[in-house]
Amino acid sequence: MKKSRGIIVGRFQPVHNGHIQIIRNVLEEIDELIIAIGSAQLSHTPKNPFTAGERVTMVKEALNEININPNSYYIIPIPDISNHSLWASHVKTLTPSFNKVYSGNPLVQRLFIENNYEVTTPPLYNRTEYSGREIRNKMINDEKWDILVPNTTYKFIREIDGINRIKDLSQKEINEL
């Protein structure tokens, strides 16, 4: 029988427990999942501090940590393009074929619907805390964020001095460069 394959798109800046919960749930519904790392060309900005390679590492280590079968997913960086109407085709050219899209982002949903894909809005878990933006803010303000991300993600961000990177990027002078 043909395998069912879905795609979830996120920026993973950084990976958090909400992402991991949804990936785990989706993998119970379908055979294979493409984890698309959006805005792959961006790094070192307040909203997108980590490189695509760093985000691939974080996702991979987090899924290993909970023993997800590595043959059940692909992690594929997707750079943005200037033309929204071509974006779904752009994603299609960079990934194995898929028939289901999982995203809560209205623009992502619309672009895939217009390309005749089945789109599902996954539930959000503890969104007040499991949110990339909230976690980045907590890092800047020296608040507790370690319990909001997988252990491997916490260790990795510390290893690459990610907290200081985010703090430096939040400074006004750098944002004006």
Ligand X SMILES: NC(=O)c1ccc[n+]([C@@H]2O[C@H](COP(=O)(O)O)[C@@H](O)[C@H]2O)c1
8 A C-beta contact, residue 102 and residue 26:
yes
Looking at residues 114 to 173 of the shown chain, list those that interact with ligand ATP (rule: CB under 6 A): 122, 124-127, 130-133
Other C-beta atoms closer than 10 Å to the C-beta of 173 total 7
Output the DSSP codes for 2-47: PPPEEEEEE--TT--HHHHHHHHHHHHHSSEEEEEESSTT--SSSS
Q: Is 11 in the site for ligand X (CB under 6 A)?
A: yes
Binding to ligand ATP in span 78-117, by CB under 6 A: 103-105
**Closest distance to ligand X from the beta carbon of 11 (Å):** 4
Strand partners, 102: 8, 120
Determine the interface stretch with ligand ATP among 7-15, 89-97, 111-119, 163-171 (rule: CB under 6 A). 7-15
136 touching ligand X, by CB under 6 A: no
- Considering only residues 72 to 131 of the shown chain, the ones binding ligand X according to CB under 6 A are 80-81, 84, 87, 103, 105, 107-108, 111
